[in-house]
């Protein structure tokens, strides 16, 4: 690859203000939220229009230069890590909501639009965008599409793939294709579903058509404290077995609770385990479900149970939960956030084994997870200044992923494979499945330019 002629061409195209090449300028782009991986790109470009994105991709293809699309850089799997001698396409300035149709309940957005901004724009029409990852106040829709983000309420409403109706996409050679449309009813293969979760290997989404939902008429949010994680897990099993489908079911352990209190002062009780269950929908239905839920909670013998009485109290509960990831940084200089999935029936086994591994390695692990669908988020705390600390933390993280596979689960629920879990994909899938994935990728990107080295081996 001859990157210097490419940078010269990009310089004529972007000018010095939107083409970053100096080391001090590139430093902010050397990693994403998984800071254990760092790589300096050859250059960063900051397009302001879809046409500039398309032309940049065409130039990269012409010069055989790998490229990575990046939004806010909140990926926790190294998914937006730059490629050596490659180009980073920073999409933050493509942040317009191009269309919001309240009657059809859709929003057409550019990839740099912040997740929460969609709901804020839709709120005057009584609508909102359902996927709500913990980073929703800063993460972008383009990144959500790349990694099929979920969030606390994915139990009831599903992942990003369940809310993307159509996309305009620039393929890795710069060709623009339209996938899906604006209708809930589609004909033929689910091409948007094919693209969502592909981690940037199939190109860059330029415009995304999102499905909006009516804002629930009412919420009932319950906070229940338990004497052990096992007891909280039993409560989850009881809620699900009852036939209730809450909007969210979350569990936090003592260390995660401590972090949330430090970071958000949510007013959580001091307890070994905290369960958050939220019902939402029409008032009459929620009232009936709430009575059933409270009976189940009472039967599971919590140490304490609270019900949010106001919107502010509900917001405070969720602020603590969503702040847990970042707040853990106040408990340790470094941490790794894992993202494995186990069957709900195996949650107790998984947590017991994680506790055993934590003790065996002498490394603290804070557990925060979407209990309703078995999506674990163990946060492995370490001090990277200590010799060998990162390697031991990564070894522990790997054992947790292998545990998820052994229990019949997955190595990722919503954070993606990225760089971090690439070596574990062949442990989850056989040679034939891996070969099919490689073939599909090369059929779209024969030069492996788009986000090279992520998810699948480079080449």
**DSSP sequence for 196-207:** TTSTTTT-EEEE
Could you report the per-residue pLDDT of 42-58, keeping only the tens digit for each?
A: 999 999 999 999 999 99
Report the distance separating Cα 49 and Cα 11, nearest Å.
Answer: 16
Alpha-carbon torsion (20, 26, 31, 37), positive or negative: positive
Whether 201 and 438 have beta carbons less than 8 Å apart is answered as no
Burial (CB count <10 Å: 0-12, 13-18, 19+), residue 162: middle
Q: Give the fold, CATH level 3, of 97-214.
A: 3.30.465
CATH architecture for segment(s) 334-414:
2-Layer Sandwich (3.30)
Q: Where in the chain is the domain with CATH 3.30.70.2190?
A: 216-331
Q: How far apart are CA 276 and CA 310, in angstroms?
A: 16
Lookup: tokens for 159:
């992942």
Q: Where in the chain is the domain with CATH 3.30.43.10?
A: 3-90
Are 250 and 186 a contacting pair, CB within 8 Å? Answer: no
Query: For the residues of 364-384, what is the DSSP string, one character each?
Result: -EEEEEEGGGTEEEEEEEE-T
| Sites in the chain below the pLDDT cut of 50 | 1
362-to-183, 341, 387, 395, 458 alpha-carbon distances in Å: 53, 23, 15, 12, 35
List every span in the chain annotated with CATH 3.30.70.2740: 334-414
What pLDDT is recorded for position 214? 97
Indicate the CATH number of 216-331 among 3.30.70.2190, 3.90.1310.10, 1.10.3720.10, 3.30.43.10: 3.30.70.2190
For residue range 346-401, list pLDDT tens digits in order.
888 898 899 999 999 999 999 998 888 889 999 999 998 999 999 999 999 999 99
Q: First CA to last CA across the chain, in angstroms?
A: 14
Phi, psi (degrees; rounded to nearest 5) at 328: -60, -25
pTM over 0.75: yes
Which of 107, 92, 5, 102 lies closest to 48 in space, CA to CA? Answer: 92
Q: Which helix (H) or strand (E) element contains residue 438?
A: helix 431-444
Name the 3-class secondary structure at 95.
coil
CATH of 3-90, one of 2.130.10.10, 3.40.50.150, 3.30.43.10, 2.40.50.140: 3.30.43.10
Q: At what angle do helices 50-62 and 3-14 cross, to 10 degrees?
A: 160
Q: How would you classify the pairing of strands 87-90 and 67-70?
A: parallel
pLDDT for position 382 = 94
Q: What is d(CA 314, CA 422) in angstroms, rounded to the nearest whole number? A: 38
% of the chain surpassing 90 pLDDT = 81
């Amino acid at each position: 690859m001859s990157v210097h002629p490419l940078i010269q061409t990009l310089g004529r195209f972007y000018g010095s203000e939107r083409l970053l090449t100096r080391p001090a300028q590139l430093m902010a782009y050397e990693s994403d939220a998984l800071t254990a991986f760092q790589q300096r790109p050859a250059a960063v470009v900051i397009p302001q229009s879809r046409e500039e994105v398309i032309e940049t991709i065409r130039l990269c293809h012409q010069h055989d230069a790998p490229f990575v699309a990046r939004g806010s850089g909140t990926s926790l799997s190294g998914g937006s890590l730059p490629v050596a001698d490659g180009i980073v396409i920073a999409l933050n300035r493509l942040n317009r909501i191009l269309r919001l149709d309240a009657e059809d309940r859709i929003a057409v957005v550019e990839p740099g639009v912040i997740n929460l901004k969609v709901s804020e724009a839709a709120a005057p029409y009584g609508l909102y965008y359902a996927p709500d990852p913990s980073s929703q106040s800063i993460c972008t829709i383009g990144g959500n599409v790349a990694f099929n983000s979920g969030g606390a309420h994915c139990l009831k409403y599903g992942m990003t793939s369940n809310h993307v109706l159509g996309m305009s996409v620039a393929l890795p050679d710069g060709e623009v294709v339209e996938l899906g449309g604006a209708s809930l009813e589609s004909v033929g293969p689910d091409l948007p579903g094919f693209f969502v979760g592909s981690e940037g290997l199939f190109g860059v989404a330029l415009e995304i058509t999102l499905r909006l939902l009516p804002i629930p008429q009412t919420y009932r949010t319950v906070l229940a404290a338990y004497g052990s994680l096992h007891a909280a897990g039993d409560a989850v099993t009881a809620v699900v077995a009852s036939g209730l489908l809450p909007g969210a079911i979350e569990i936090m352990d003592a260390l995660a609770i401590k972090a949330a209190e430090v970071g958000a002062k949510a007013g959580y009780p001091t307890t070994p385990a905290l369960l958050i269950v939220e019902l939402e929908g029409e008032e009459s239905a929620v009232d009936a479900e709430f009575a059933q839920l409270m009976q189940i909670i009472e039967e599971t013998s919590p140490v304490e149970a609270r019900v949010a009485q106001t919107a502010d109290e509900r917001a405070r509960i969720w602020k603590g939960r969503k702040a847990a990831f970042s707040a853990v940084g106040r408990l340790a200089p470094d941490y790794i956030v894992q993202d494995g999935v186990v069957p709900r029936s195996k949650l107790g086994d998984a947590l017991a084994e994680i506790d055993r591994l934590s003790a065996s390695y002498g490394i603290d692990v804070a557990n925060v997870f979407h209990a309703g669908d078995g999506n674990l988020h163990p946060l492995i705390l370490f001090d990277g200044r200590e010799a060998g600390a990162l390697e031991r933390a990564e070894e522990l993280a790997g054992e947790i992923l292998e545990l998820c596979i052994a229990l019949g689960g997955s190595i990722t629920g919503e954070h993606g494979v990225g760089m971090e879990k690439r070596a574990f994909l062949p442990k989850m899938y056989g040679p034939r499945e891996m070969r099919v994935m490689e073939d599909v990728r090369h059929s779209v990107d024969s030069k492996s330019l788009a986000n090279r080295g992520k998810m699948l081996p480079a080449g």
